[in-house]
A and B are shown apart, each in its own frame.
Chain A
């Protein structure tokens, strides 16, 4: 069952990367720099991929 959930959602690190990236994007989206949200999410996710690659 644990393997199934890991296949569906990924491990804790993957969930943390996706969750934090969306939270940061939400912050940017509700700030005066809202137009930069389209850049913020990809950059956060690339940074997240960098972290996942190392761990």
Chain B
């Protein structure tokens, strides 16, 4: 319901923005906001400044609260997860779909991607569950920041010397920067071991 309302509202607003540069800037800022927050948390957890995220413990703690019943705890966790992931899909589908005038195609592509991701997640769940959650978040944050930086600067009129290949350079820079920060905050730990 929340996502449906957001999608309808955003579609209305975005159809009134006809300049792709403005959209690039808005999406770039959103990606940067998500990315820098995740990178900060991943660095803090990697350096031991913050406890590693434990979803099982989090669920148990939520269940233990006397004022929250099991059903409500499960609903809260599912709602938070769905809202965050749904928002990312919403941003991509609505902005690209509305601007290109192919909203149905964009929504269809999102559904196809959902099927692929669900299939891959199901078949690769065992090896993927062995990858530490913080490593995944660290990598995703570097990717989000790379796209965010690329789009913000392009929208501001900057010409990337390497073109689209600059994305790879940005990704490398954020990964190296994050690993450097982990070493800086906790010199005793090898960064490669803790993310």
Where the two chains meet, the residues of A that have a C-beta atom closer than 8 Å to any C-beta of B are 4, 7-10, 14-15, 17-18, 21-22, 25-26, 29, 34-35, 37-38, 41-43, 45-46, 48-54
Contacts and interface: CB of A to CB of B under 8 A. Distances in A.
Interface of B: 2, 29, 32-37, 39-41, 43-44, 47, 49-50, 80, 83-84, 87, 145, 149, 152-153, 156-158, 160-161, 166, 170, 173-174, 177-178, 181, 184-185
Contacts of A51: 40
21 contacts: A7-B80, A10-B36, A10-B37, A15-B33, A18-B29, A18-B33, A25-B152, A25-B156, A26-B156, A29-B153, A35-B161, A37-B156, A37-B158, A38-B160, A41-B149, A41-B152, A41-B153, A45-B174, A48-B36, A50-B43, A50-B184
Contacts of A48: 36, 40
The 3 closest A-B pairs by CB, nearest first: A52-B40, A46-B177, A53-B44
- Chain A residues touching B, majority SS: helix
A19 B178 CA distance: 20
A31 B48 CA distance: 39
A52 B49 contact: no
A49 B178 contact: yes
A36 to B, nearest CB: 10
Nearest to B185: A53
B28 to A, nearest CB: 9
A53 B37 CA distance: 9
B33 A14 contact: yes
Contacts of A46: 39, 173-174, 177-178, 181
A3 B159 CA distance: 37
